[in-house]
Structure 1
Amino acid sequence: MRHPPWRCAAHTAGPRACLQGLVRACHVWGLGLLSLPTGGDALLVSLVCRSVLHHFHFKGAVHSVSFSPDGRKFVVTKGNIAQVYHAPGRKREFNAFVLDKTYFGPYDETTCIDWTDDSRCFAVGSRDMSTWVFGAERWDNLIYYALGGHKDAIVACFFETSSLDLYTLSQDGALCVWQCDTLPEGLRLKAPTGWKADLLQREEEQEEEEGAESETTIRGKATPAAEEQQGKVKYSRVAKYFFNKEGDFNNLTAAAYHKKVHLLVTGFASGIFHLHELPEFNLIHSLSISDQRVASVAINSSGDWIAFGCSGLGQLLVWEWQSESYVLKQQGHFNSMVSLAYSPDGQYIVTGGDDGKVKVWNTLSGFCFVTFTEHSSGVTGVTFTTTGYVIVTSSMDGTVRAFDLHRYRNFRTFTSPRPTQFSCVAVDSSGEIVSAGAQDSFEVFIWSMQTGRLLDVLSGHEGPISGLCFNPMKSVLASASWDRTVHLWDMADSWRTTETLALTSDALAVTFRPDGAELAVATLNSQITFWDPENAVQTGSIEGRHDLKTGRKELDKITAKHSAKGKAFTTLCYSADGQSILAGGMSKFVCIYHVREQILRKKFEISCNLSLDAMEEFLNRRKMTEFGNLALIDQDAAEEGGVAIPLPGVKKGDMSSRHFKPEIRVTSLRFSPTGRCWAATTTEGLLIYSLDAQMLFDPFELDTSVTPVRIRAALRQRDFTRAILLAFRLNERKLLQETLEAVPWDEIEVISSSLPDLYVEKVLEFLASSFEVSHHLEFYLIWTQKLLMVHGQKLKSRVGTLLPAVQFLQKSIQRHLDDVSKLCDWNRYNLQYALAVSKQRGLKRPSEPLGSEEEAGASEDNDDDSLHLLGGGPGHADAPLA
């Protein structure tokens, strides 16, 4: 069975991923990207086909990597050594990474690397308070040079432009300026020795036989002029500066230097950053951006924008220092995300975390545009209403809150008669009834959205409520519990229980199919059972224990195979068409199953991060000693109780432990209403997977008679219907765009009525995707309007299959509506302001002044003009507005 080609399109990482800093993207060279996980594994990835080209292991944890400016070499530092490798080229090689030379010098771990502009030398900073300058080639007057002068670990080192002059910064806030007595052009290659010298001598002897003129020239080049040799390269410290310190805790944590504008940016542990001009060390600006340490600093190529990263809070800030304004401010959840929900149009995602924050993200840009902090404890569930403008959340603080996305405020707070902890939340299709499940009282609470009044308390479960879900088509609520039952409650008949579904194990998640005709339940024995809610009959089941493939924890005393017996799926979600179901839980894998065939279609590995717990399937024998597992004997060995072994099913470890490793988990899964993507909240953050249709060739009813030549010939003959049919059978995007845009706007209605019903769905899907990238808004809006008006009645019979395409279309049009409406409002307010100013200044007015109705008409005309500027089909400037 052919599975959808899902690809990870966005990764909105949480603060935990930022805090670990496990994968470092180092440099893009040609078509490849080098990434280094903590274990020392390197991956060469193609950015075109999105596939791994080469694997390499550096045999140790790598601290930093830096490519030379010419892209021919890169330096890898691990431990106290630096290794220079030849960069992979465009030609196919047996080994893409070739070691050139290993440099020794520092006595402690290395911290930073910087290259000269000509790629002749590089500098390496170390924790032993020294900085070492090495020659990338075999220079005669520079092999290595050690620089001291600091009293703390080196944080950063930077070369000056076209020079060997160096700046070094230490953790205690000291800056040393080093001047070199030799220019980069003064470096001399070392004369070859050994077999290389013999080979060179043979070549010279052969050339000597050719002629006397060439002999003198070669002799002059080959023999080193010992009399003209200069001394070794020397450095001297010309200045030492200290940053303003507000306390002992205010250590220097990050730095960046822009060589062209001589701008030095430094970040400190207190959240303060400084801007200095070098080499005079003039203070330009100083500002506090956070109450946590600044973990990383970067400057853009022009030197105008500065980016700061604070791992403690998951913050990302972009600052324009000349205008002293923020360009971008983003902050993720600094605890793990536990739940998410898509808006009905698929344009936004809301997430809730253990930190009590509720964040709304834009799926197109990947940015969070609003954060709600009203909850005082962890958020356990989030959901949208059908209108898409209200978010309902449940929390462990005993409240269920409703947030308005128009005014960005909490307008409803639902509480229970006695304090309780809510574990899940659900809203019916009308948006009028809010329900939440209690974790300690085993009850389901029902409120009215309009009045905020508690309507009823549903009792009957004998265990904590693990999941709630409303039937999309009927007023029926399904509640799953740890008491091995699922209750179906009729909201229209005094909230009484209509059916009770008996399970073989504890229920962990429940969800309805989009058409409401099927119910899926995930249980503790790793099974997914499917039920007919009308007749309370089980229709099928999927055994997922072998698909979970849980990894072995660091402190486990059993194998991963036996550990998988206690793992299960904790979150379920149907696809938009209801044919597939996503399942995730206590594993690094997300499984997608075909519901009718009950087989696994594909598994997605959400992370390869080996620093997370439960990632390895087998115990690494390098961690085994004669006394057992190194993690079990080394950690907290001085305590009387030794190492605390976690119990099966425990979600969290000891947060106070220095060696705490978060466990890889999938906490929530949701399919987009458009059916083109799905999202997952994991230990790594928020992941969004999408169907990448641009990389696929998907012909539709293709035969040998369908060619681009025939399609363009039909266009020249103005047989537009035949050209469109042939283009969709070939299904090439550029050819489709060329064919549709060649149709005159006044003939769109006639051609739309002549299209078969099977091709109408194809045209709508193409229009929905074209709205994302095209500027011809008005032209494509006319196409959409005519197709829906002509074929609307016929499409009602296939509403189930067409719903994802129509929702995708609505999402694209809504985004443009927001943008165009802002521009129209801006133009209208500008006209009103200009008219008001002209009246005040007594300027000359027309003989017949505009009345209120004419002014409104002028504003409307201006709106039309702005729409004409944005929309209009290609070559159709006179097309009317849709």
Structure 2
Amino acid sequence: MKFAYRFSNLFGAVYRQGNLSFSKDGNSVVSPVGNRISVFDLKNNKSETLPVSTTKNITCVGLSPDGNLAILVDEDGAALLVSLITRAVLHHFHFHKPVSSIRFSPDGRKFIVTKENVALMYHAPGKQREFNAFVLDKSYYGPYDETTCIDWTDDSKCFVVGSKDMSTWVFGAERWANLIYYSLGGHKDVIVGCFFEKDSLDLYTVSQDGTLCVWESNTELDGLVLHKRTSQREEEDDEEQRDEGEDGEPRGEVIRGKAEAPKDEGKTKNVRYKQMSKHFFNKEGDFNNLTAAAFHKESHILVTGFASGIFHLHELPEFNLIHSLSISDQRIASVAMNSSGDWIGFGCSGLGQLLVWEWQSESYVFKQQGHFNNMASLAYSPDGQYIVTGGDDGKVKVWNTNSGLCFVTFTEHTSSVTNVTFTSSGFVIVSASLDGTARAYDLHRYRNFRTFTSPRPAQFSSLAVDVSGELVSAGAQDSFEIFIWSMQTGRLLEVLGGHEGPVSCLCFSPVQSILASSSWDRTVRLWDMNDSWQTKETLRLTSDGLSVSYRPDGQELAVATLDGEISFWNPHTATQTGSIVGRHDLQMGRKETDKITAKQSAKGKSFTSLCYSADGESVLAGGQSKFVCIYNVKEQILLKKFEISCNLSFDAMEEFLDRRKMTEFGSLALVDEGAGDGDGVHLSLPGVKRGDMSSRHFKPEIRVSSLRFSPTGRSWAATTTEGLLVYSLDSSLVFDPYDLDLDVTPASIRKQLRLQEWAAAIVLAFRLNERALTQEVLETVPHKEISVVCGSLPDVYVEKLLGFVAASLERSGHLQFYLTWAQTLLMLHGQKLKNRSGAILPTLQALQKSIQKHFDDLSKLCDFNMYNIRYAVALSKQRGMKRAAEEEGEEEDEEEEEELLSEGMSEASLEDVGVAL
């Protein structure tokens, strides 16, 4: 139960490809991220990644109108029906071919899926539980090329499908006598969007070359007439049409559209369309294709996104430009509007950007971007509230662990960031880069206040900051030296030489001023910072050292080497205390281009990142594999393995080669097919201009570049090819009873409360281990009795109560009450807890995190209130002075009047003086 970590959230990637969708209330945006989907709550500024994943990257998402269900379809056409309420997978389905778009009808009873040149209409899953949730109703054939987009009429009677063959087809969802199908032309490029007008059959179609066509129908929605069967022959024709598809699936009723319009039947006139107008968007470049479009029916607003990163807002049908803006220099891949029409969501797959724009106030509601290259490293802040990451794009980003969002990005580095870390205060971040600099950032003012450089240019591959935060060290990849700087002055204090290979990792002891450095020269050196920067010990390894980590108490050292082993050393005696052979636990997958098997390939793999748990009893290890392992240090055994990804869109995921991809000329993966629309990562050749198709693409390989336990021990994070994955203990799912017998029931606990036996009630509640009941017991205890209850608690329950208080304090509004519990427990049992400092450390850090969070929130509120009070006082003083000045002026006027009257002037002359004044 101690290692029951579950996938919690995905940071660092907000959008990859596919279509964006807004929730029913319009306050959340659903974004596909690789083979998962993330929900961003824009009102509460939080993000959540659902614990469901497809086998490959998601290409389209369909949300039901009530917002309860979502259909996720991946690159191969495999679909998942997911409940957005319970976050569970309800049904698996396979469409057997890549799906271009999916859309529910407004009444929620049907949904349309387009694949290749056919539109398939399915019955949407209802409230009744069915064996097959997707029942095919009709198949619609019309376009000659792939279909691209769908839209429904407001009453779910008809739908329209756009295609790559430049045609748009209107189909009836029921068997209408006057509308079976209708084909529209008029465009010279691929149809990007097709939209019905509100409560009408009138249409707008938008094509890739920036053309908008406005179509008017001669029939209202009420004018659609249901088809009546006139002969047995028609029923026989329908039976003939209900054949089976290529994949053996029944295709339901098949409707085949033809180029010419269907003939009128009897007196019923068929629906006809007429092109009312044609508009063209301003072209601002040779390759400025229109790539995405969305239409809000109530406000008649059309949003169009272009390949140059520009978007336009037009009011239809007049085609009035409201405004246009450039939000990126990359292609806008997806556009969506929320239900009220106020917010517009944009997704840019090239940069991994997700933006939500409020067009009326012309301001960003939400703006997030992940690292658009690989993440290299991460570090937790001392209180566990923040995570900092560095990437190959040269950016340093800081993420809030509660909201999952990035709140500051530092872009001072000009090359890949290789390592990042926090100082012990938690307010300074230090990063090292291949550009030859290490930089320190201030989290109060969000600025780069120190830049550390070496006398000769060097590429820094490792970084460490000592416990006091005074010394910054970085290891060079090319000169094999270690540089030591002063944080206060920024001066270079010492250059440590001695290694005969690149320095791979640095780590300061948590309790002493000793630096451990591992290198490719098969040694780990311990440097004494107090004694003339001399080498204190040299530890000889069996292979190249890749990573080194100190235990939190500083009494042990773990080193990962190139031969896949983790060795443990006593830093005081320089003796090896144990080792773990972890090569067999990595289980490397086979790459598509590999000539050797996965089993042989795994022999050359190793762990590249190590991290001790908060209590020092176990070690977390990851490397060039999709697995992360937790080992027990004392027993030297594997405790648990986590498979961080099941996404087959990455390379090195499958153990065996797919024989279907093998040809007589070799693997299909070795054949370069050029750059597709969304396959892999694009690498432009040097010197090419934007829009040039001379680019290569590759499949990213799954790997773990860095791992860290949170200071509280409740979670751990890993930077992977997918992004920043966070795994945490879900306390609501973990049931770990101890000392449980038949007498421990909720009724007996409440009986103890009525008898005012507070300590006994708390002990029984912890035995039953139900969170809600424990909280009820704790909050029933009177404020005055807390010290007495804490004093009479058995030692075994003190630590558990302190952990419960730390967890409750983070979510509860009863701050003083829970702070009193925490203070009393620490004051009365401080000495006993100190003796078990290793085990109690995660609990204390969780308590510190909760207190710091409330302190930050309250200090902001208090500062704001103090400012308001000062403002009100200043305003009242100003008004008082104004009033005093007015009264003084009135007194002067009265004196003047008395003087004039005393001189014998008449009332008339007095009035004249007043007018003149």
Q: TM-score band, normalised by the shorter chain?
A: 0.7 to 0.9
- Cα deviation per residue 1:639-662 (whole Å; 9 max; x = unaligned)? xxxxxxxxxxxxxxxx97533222
Corresponding residue of 1:14: 13
Matched, 1:338 2:347: no
Shift of 1:15: 7.5
Render the CA deviation track for 1:481-535: whole Å, top value 9, x for unaligned. 1112211222222222222222222221111121222222222222222222222
TM-score, reference length from structure 1: 0.86
Give me the whole-angstrom Cα distance separating, in 1, the residues matched to 2:296 and 2:851. Answer: 42
Does residue 302 of structure 1 match 2:340?
A: yes
> Which one of the candidate residues 134, 142, 155 is aligned to 1:105?
142
For residue 90 of structure 1, report the CA deviation from its aligned partner.
4.8
1:397 aligns with 2:435: yes
1:539 is aligned to 577
Q: Residue 750 of structure 1: SS of its match in structure 2?
A: helix
For the pair 1:319 / 2:353, whether they are aligned, the reply is: no
Equivalence for 1:792 = 830
Structure 1 residues 748-759: aligned runs within 5 Å: 748-759=786-797
Question: Which residue does 2:94 correspond to in 1?
Answer: 57
Between stretches 226-235 and 514-523, larger displacement belongs to: 226-235
The share of aligned pairs that are identical, in percent, is 71
1:434 to partner: Cα distance: 1.2
Using a 3 Å threshold, how does the CA distance of structure 1 residues 229 and 7 change in structure 2: closer, same or farther? farther
The residue correspondences of 1:205-216 to structure 2 (distance < 5 A) are none
Matched with 2:685 is none
Question: Which amino acid is 1:55 matched to?
Answer: H
* Counterpart for residue 893 of structure 2: none
How far apart in 2 are the matches of 1:15 and 1:826? Answer: 32
Mapping of residues 448-459 of structure 1, within 5 Å = 448-459=486-497
Report the alpha carbon displacement of residue 755 of structure 1 after superposing the two structures with TM.
Answer: 2.2
- Give the counterpart letter for 2:10 in structure 1: H
Query: Are residues 1:5 and 2:4 paired?
Result: yes
Which residue does 1:27 correspond to in 2? 63
**Residue 115 of structure 1 pairs with residue 149 of structure 2:** no
- CA distance in structure 1 between the aligned counterparts of 2:85 and 2:233, rounded to whole angstroms: 44
SS in 2 for 1:836: helix
Q: Which amino acid aligns with 2:400?
A: N
Paired residues for 1:224-373 under 5 Å: 230-373=268-411
- CA drift of 1:370 comes to 1.2
User: What is aligned with 2:446?
Assistant: 408
Name which of 844, 848, 861 aligns with 1:806.
844
- Of the candidates 858, 861, 877, which is equivalent to residue 839 of structure 1? 877
User: How is 1:429-444 mapped onto 2 (pairs within 5 angstroms)?
Assistant: 429-444=467-482
Higher mean displacement: 30-39 or 249-258: 30-39
475-484 or 89-98, larger mean C-alpha shift: 89-98
- Does the Cα contact within 8 Å between 2:177 and 2:265 map onto a contact in 1? no
Give 1:597-676 correspondences, 5 Å limit.
Answer: 597-633=635-671, 635=673, 657-676=695-714
- Distance of 1:196 and 1:808 partners within structure 2: 72
Q: Does 1:36 align with 2:73?
A: yes
The range that moved more, 337-346 or 425-434, is: 425-434
SS in 2 for 1:833: helix
User: Match for 1:76: what amino acid?
Assistant: V
Report how far residue 182 of structure 1 moved: 3.2
Q: 2:758 aligns with which of 717, 720, 724?
A: 720
Aligned residue number for residue 216 of structure 1:
none
Q: 1:229 to 1:501 in 2, by over 3 A?
A: farther
* Contact 2:460-2:476 at 8 Å conserved across structures: yes
Q: Aligned partners of 1:285, 1:768: CA distance in 2, in Å?
A: 50
C-alpha separation between the residues in 2 aligned to 1:165 and 1:597? Answer: 73
Give distance in 2, aligned partners of 1:142 and 1:264. 27
Alignment partner of 1:70 out of 107, 117, 129: 107
Deviation (angstroms), 1:289: 2.1
CA distance in 2, matches of 1:141, 1:736: 67
Give per-residue Cα distances to partners, 1:229-267, cap 9 Å, x unaligned. 523332222222222332333322222222233222222
Q: In structure 1, the residue corresponding to 2:837 is in which secondary structure?
A: helix
| 806-815 or 340-349, which deviates more | 806-815
Gaps of 5+ in 2: 19-32, 35-56, 239-263, 676-692, 885-917
SS at match of 1:688: strand
> Aligned-residue CA RMSD in angstroms?
2.8
- Count residues in correspondence: 803
Aligned residue in 1 for 2:190: 153
Which stretch shows the higher mean deviation, 437-446 or 580-589?
Answer: 580-589
Give the secondary-structure state (helix, strand or coil) at the position aligned to 2:372: coil
Structure 2: distance between partners of 1:575 and 1:324? 47
From 568, 571, 582, the counterpart of 2:606: 568
User: In 2 relative to 1, CA 304–31 (structure 1 residues): closer, same or farther, beyond 3 Å?
Assistant: closer
Write the distance in 2 (CA, Å) between the matches of 1:459 and 1:543. Answer: 31
Deviation at 1:830, TM superposition (A): 1.2
CA gap of 1:60–1:126, structure 2 versus 1, over 3 A, is same
> Which residue pairs with 1:648 in the alignment?
none
Distance 2:335 2:855 in 1: 37
Q: Deviations over 1:595-614 (max 9, x none)?
A: 22333333222223322222
Give the corresponding residue for 1:174. Answer: 211
For 1:615 and 1:514, the matched residues in 2 are separated by 34
Q: Cα deviations across residues 346-373 of structure 1 (Å, max 9, x unaligned)? A: 0111111111111111111111111111
Query: In structure 1, how many angstroms separate the alpha carbons of the residues matched to 2:577 and 2:73?
Result: 47
Query: 2:396, 2:312 → 1: CA distance?
Result: 32
Give the aligned residue type for 2:8.
Answer: A
| Residues 81, 104 of structure 1: 8 Å contact kept | yes
Among candidates 135, 144, 149, match of residue 181 of structure 2? 144
Shifted more, 373-382 versus 14-23: the winner is 14-23
Distance 1:16 1:286 in 2: 23
How far is 1:55 from its partner?
Answer: 3.0
Q: What TM-score results when the alignment is normalised by the length of structure 2?
A: 0.83
Q: Supply the AA of the counterpart residue of 1:75.
A: I
Q: Any idea what SS the aligned residue of 2:732 has? A: helix
Instruction: Check conservation: 2:106, 2:156, Cα contact below 8 A.
Output: yes
C-alpha separation between the residues in 2 aligned to 1:112 and 1:74? 13
- 2:773 aligned with 1:735: yes
**Does the aligned pair in 2 maintain the 1:613–1:662 contact within 8 Å?**
yes
Cα distance, 1:31–1:289 mapped onto 2, change above 3 Å: closer
Matched position secondary structure for 2:542: coil
Equivalent position of 2:502 in the other structure: 464
CA distance in 2, matches of 1:165, 1:598: 71
